[in-house]
């Protein structure tokens, strides 16, 4: 099939590109930058911004399926940017798909769209969308975008949302580099007394789920207009996982601790100061992050297994070995 991947030069987008190429699919990437490694793979690259509807429309032309993985990531930034990129950009993708006669759209969402005040243990897709999102604009904007994508499902354009949880793996530009930097600076501490269960997903497994969803949509399976949680299906203590990832980089473990109540209070104060003075840089701590690292959040992925045929192919143990082998400066 002919597939467009928005954010094809990114972490997950790149994994989706590679998964498609391994099958012999024809792949086009739409990103703001130019990526030599994609050119080496024979991927057609179109440079553009999601806020440029004409550029998005041009990129979608001639495609059978679009994987919309590009987004403004968490955890911090102006609300207007999250709305323009994550909500407005997704609407531009939807409009482009309709105009170009694209048959299927697979949207990369996040489990944080259903953020709850307490623990989420074995939650499934019946969970309602969140409301306050602890003042975070990333999950709020992703929830709005996901709802627009699912509402757009029709006979002309089949749509589905994949909710991969805490994606990690080699070349991860988000979690591990941040953990390592904060640990080296003495700024990384366990929040709360426990080790809440979470269920992450290795990047190649997340990519596989996206491709499976596209195949199901194109085959006419009854999965359109639905969202699916995707994980490694191996719940693990969050701080245990952090320590294991840090060990891959020759760092850790995390020994400092901060009471969750203290962390929430500090985060509330810092966020207020940042917003009052319009500070653009990311705060050291936010309420959203405090909630994420002090509460259990793991999900029942039966729907993805049963309806998409999803099965994690890379275990957490194997994934950690790959991360360690790929970390710069460590022996392979």
| Residues designated as active site | 138
My answer on whether omega of the bond before 75 falls inside 30° of 0, hence cis, is yes
Nearest to 163 by CA among 113, 236, 224, 233: 113
Between CA 222 and CA 298 the distance in angstroms is 25
**Starting at the edge strand that comes first in sequence, how are the strands of the sheet with 2-6 ordered?**
44-47, 26-31, 2-6, 65-68, 104-108, 158-164, 226-230
Which residues lie across from 66 on neighbouring strands?
4, 105
Q: Are strands 190-191 and 257-258 parallel, antiparallel or unpaired?
A: parallel
Continuous H helices in 128-230: 137-151, 175-184, 203-218
Between CA 19 and CA 327 the distance in angstroms is 22
The residue whose two tokens read 């994994």 is 15
Between CA 332 and CA 328 the distance in angstroms is 9
């Amino acid at each position: 099939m002919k597939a467009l991947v928005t954010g094809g030069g990114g972490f997950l987008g790149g994994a989706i590109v590679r998964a498609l190429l391994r099958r012999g699919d024809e792949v086009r990437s739409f990103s703001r930058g130019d990526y030599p490694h994609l050119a080496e793979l024979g991927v057609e690259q179109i440079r553009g911004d999601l806020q440029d509807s004409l550029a998005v429309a041009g990129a979608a032309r001639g495609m059978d399926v679009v994987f919309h993985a590009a987004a403004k990531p968490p955890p911090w930034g102006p609300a207007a940017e999250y709305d323009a990129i994550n909500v407005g950009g997704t609407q531009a993708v939807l409009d482009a798909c309709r105009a170009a006669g694209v048959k299927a759209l697979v949207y990369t969402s996040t489990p944080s769209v259903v953020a709850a005040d307490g623990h989420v243990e074995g939650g499934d897709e019946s969970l309602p969308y969140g409301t306050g999102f602890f003042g975070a604009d990333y999950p709020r904007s992703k929830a709005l975008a996901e709802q627009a994508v699912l509402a757009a499902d029709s006979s002309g354009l089949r749509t589905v949302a994949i909710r991969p949880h805490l994606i990690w793996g080699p070349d991860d530009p988000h979690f591990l580099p941040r953990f390592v930097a904060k640990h080296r600076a003495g700024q990384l501490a366990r929040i709360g007394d426990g080790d809440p269960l979470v269920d992450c997903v290795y990047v190649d497994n997340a990519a596989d789920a996206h491709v499976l969803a596209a195949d199901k949509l194109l085959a006419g399976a009854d999965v359109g207009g639905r969202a699916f949680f995707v994980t490694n299906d191996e719940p693990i203590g969050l701080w245990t996982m952090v320590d294991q990832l840090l060990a891959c980089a020759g760092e850790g473990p995390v020994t400092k601790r901060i009471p969750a109540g203290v962390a929430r209070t500090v985060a509330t104060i810092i966020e207020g100061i940042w917003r009052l003075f319009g500070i653009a840089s990311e705060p050291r701590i936010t309420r959203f992050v405090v909630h994420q690292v002090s509460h259990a959040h793991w999900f029942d992925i039966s729907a993805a297994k049963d309806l998409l045929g999803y099965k994690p192919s890379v275990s957490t143990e194997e994934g950690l070995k790959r991360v360690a082998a790929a970390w710069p400066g460590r022996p392979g």
